[in-house]
Structure 1
C-alpha cells in the first residue's frame, strides 16, 4: 500500500471474540467507502482480529498495531501532508474528549464513539441519535465519515473442509442438531448438572445434542459423560488449532436448529451463520450485545450485575425458552434437511 495514501486508523481498548465480531461490519463498510485508504487497526490491549478472526479481515485491514498507544501509532504512521482519520471505538466520554483535545491542530480528523453524536456533530451533517446495538454504533461511525449509507454485513464464510468435517462428525444421524456451550470466565459458565439436564430433555424430545468445550471454566467431557452418556462432546481432543476449530464451529452452526449457551463470544460467532440462539444473560445490556442472528431468546440469570451467575439459572427457564424458540421456528419456517 502506498505510504502516501490516506490513513484510516481504527482504535479500540481490546477485543474479546464478541467485540471483534461486532466490529467486522464497520471494517467492511470502511473498505467499501475508502478503497484507496491505508487501514490500520490498533488496540491498547489484545485483539481477536489478530488471532482466531484474522483470516476474516485480511482483505479489510492493511496492518495491525496491538498493545500500542494511539499516540505512538500516529507518530509512526501519520504521513506528512496526507489525510489522516482516526475512528475511535472506545467508550467513555471523558477519555474520548481528552483524545479529541490532544488531536486539535494535528491535522487528524477524529471520529469518536460518543454516547450521542451531538458531541461530534459537524456543519452540514444531520444530527442523529447513536444506535442501541454496538455493531450498528461502529457501523454508523463509518457512515458518518463517508457521508452516505453503506452495506451492513456481519456474516462469516464457512470453508468447505470445515463443512466436510462437520458432516463427518455428525455421521448419518438425521435428528435435528442442538449445540450447547457452557464454558466461560468468572460467572459466565454453566454447571455440569445444568448442561446434563438440558441435554437429557432435548435428547428425549428427539434432538441430537452436541456440547462444545471452549476455553474457560465449566463442564468437562468426563463430568458430562458421567451424567448424560447420550451427550456428544467435542473440544480440544479433536486436535484442531484455534482457527480450524472456529471454522468447524461455524460449519456446525449452519447445520444446527439452535445454539443454547451463555451470553458471549460463542453466541456472536454462531450469529454470523444465522444460527437461532437461546442466550443466558448475567447482566449484559442486551440492546447493545444482542446476537445478530435475528432469532434470539434471552434468559436472565438471577441476581444483579456482576453477582448474577449463569450456573444459578433454573434449568426449567432455559428449556422453556429453548422449546419456545424451536416451536416458533417450526411454525414460521420449514426447516431444511440436514
Structure 2
C-alpha cells in the first residue's frame, strides 16, 4: 500500500513521453498489482500501467481494459494485454540502406524485447528481399508500400503505447508527421536533423553522428535512454560457405572480388575498366572473380572476350535473390579484397569485414563509408550527376588496390574448411 497526495504523476526514466499525469484529488489509497514484468497501480477508477520503458495512465477501470487472472500469491496475469507497438518507417530501402538500418533494429529488439516491432515503407525494401533472412528475427511484421496512417490503424489497440521511429529525411515532412502523430497520442522519434521534434525535458542531448548507420542507431538509444550495442555484421550460412568453396576450387591464390554493375547509368564500370583491372591482378598472382549483379554494366560475354581468365559469378548459377546474397557474403568472408563502386555491395561485404576499395562519384563518404576496418576510397574525376564511375582512371583504382593489399590483412581468420 502507498499514499499519494493531490497531483500525483508517475514516469519511467526510459520513456517519459509515454507518461500521462492526472489530478488524483484528495489523498487516496493506491493498490499495486504485479503482472509479469509490468506493474499496475490503481487509484479508484483510474489505473496506471508501469512497464520497463513505458508508463501509461488508463482512464478506465483496470479490469475493463485488461481482464486479470488473480493468482493465490496476490499476483495477477493480464489477459489480452496488448504489447507496446514500435513502428519503423522509411521511404525505401536499397541494399545499402537496408544494411545500415539493421544495427538499429538489433538495438531495438535488445532494448524493447516485449514490444511488437513493425517495419513499414512507402516503397520497396531490401529487408523483405535479399536481406529478409537477416531482418526476419528482428521484426514481427513487415508492411511495405503501405502508408504510415494505415499501419497505425491496423495495429492500434485500446491502451496500447505506440511509438514511431521515422528514418525518412526532410524536416518539413517530419514536422507534418509529428503533428499528425501528436493528435493520436503516438510518441515520435524522427531522423536527424528533425530529431529535435522528439525532445523533452528529460531527453539526453546528443550530437548528430556522421555515419548514417550510427544515426539510425542513435535514435534507438535516445528512445531507450541508454547506450546499446552496435552490431552491423551478418551471419553466413553453412550452405553458402560450401558453395563458395566449390566455386573457388583448389585455387589458393589470394582472392579478389570485382563489382561493376549498377541500376544507375553513371554508377557502373565499363568493360574496359574491369578487364584491365582483372588482367593486372591475375598477372600479379591473384584469383579474380567478377560478380554479375542486377543492373547495367559488364556482361559475362563482353568480359570473356577481353579477358578469358576472368571468372564471372551471376544468374547462371540459378540461385534466388536470398541465396545469391548469402553466396556473396560467403565469398566476401574468404576474399582478400573487394573492388567496386560506392553502393550496396560495398556495404554488404563490410558485414563480413572484407577489405574494400570503393570508387566514389559524389556520395558523402562520411555518411556512406562501408563499415569495414580496411577501406580505400578512389574519387571519380567529377562529382554529382555529371560524374561517371567509368571515367575513373584504371591506374588510380589499381594503385589503391595494391596499396590496400600490401598494407592490410583481414582482422579475423578465414572460416575453417568443411
> What TM-score results when the alignment is normalised by the length of structure 1?
0.96
RMSD of equivalent CA atoms: 1.6
Where does residue 143 of structure 1 map in the other structure?
Answer: 221
Cα distance, 1:199 vs. partner?
0.7
Cα distance, 1:232 vs. partner?
0.8
Where does residue 313 of structure 1 map in the other structure?
Answer: 392
Tell me which moved more, 73-82 or 20-29.
Answer: 73-82
Does the CA-based 8 Å contact 1:178-1:207 persist in structure 2?
Answer: yes
SS at match of 2:142: strand
Measured against aligned partners, the alpha-carbon deviations of 1:67-124 in whole angstroms (never above 9, x if no partner) come to: 1111111112122211100000001111001100111231100000022644432212
**Inter-partner Cα distance in structure 2 for 1:3 and 1:72:** 22
Where does residue 249 of structure 1 map in the other structure?
Answer: 328
Pair 1:52-2:156 in alignment: no
Q: How many residues in Structure 1 have an aligned counterpart in Structure 2?
A: 336
Does the CA-based 8 Å contact 1:18-1:269 persist in structure 2?
Answer: yes
> What TM-score results when the alignment is normalised by the length of structure 2?
0.78
Does the CA-based 8 Å contact 1:225-1:231 persist in structure 2?
Answer: yes
Question: Judging changes above 3 Å, is the alpha-carbon distance between structure 1 residues 116 and 46 closer, same or farther for their aligned structure 2 residues?
Answer: closer
Where does residue 74 of structure 1 map in the other structure?
Answer: 152
**Structure 1 unaligned blocks of 5 or more:** none
- Structure whose CA Rg is larger: 2
Q: State which of 161, 170, 193 in structure 2 corresponds to 1:83.
A: 161
Q: State which of 297, 306, 311 in structure 2 corresponds to 1:232.
A: 311
**Inter-partner Cα distance in structure 1 for 2:153 and 2:411:** 54
Does the CA-based 8 Å contact 2:122-2:147 persist in structure 1?
Answer: yes
Tell me which moved more, 50-59 or 112-121.
Answer: 112-121
Question: Judging changes above 3 Å, is the alpha-carbon distance between structure 1 residues 334 and 38 closer, same or farther for their aligned structure 2 residues?
Answer: closer
SS at match of 2:337: strand
Question: Judging changes above 3 Å, is the alpha-carbon distance between structure 1 residues 42 and 336 closer, same or farther for their aligned structure 2 residues?
Answer: closer
Cα distance, 1:335 vs. partner?
7.6
Where does residue 11 of structure 2 map in the other structure?
Answer: none
Question: Judging changes above 3 Å, is the alpha-carbon distance between structure 1 residues 325 and 3 closer, same or farther for their aligned structure 2 residues?
Answer: farther
Where does residue 158 of structure 1 map in the other structure?
Answer: 236
Q: State which of 280, 283, 305 in structure 1 corresponds to 2:362.
A: 283
Does the CA-based 8 Å contact 2:292-2:312 persist in structure 1?
Answer: yes
Pair 1:107-2:162 in alignment: no
**Structure 2 unaligned blocks of 5 or more:** 1-79
Where does residue 298 of structure 2 map in the other structure?
Answer: 219
Cα distance, 1:304 vs. partner?
2.2
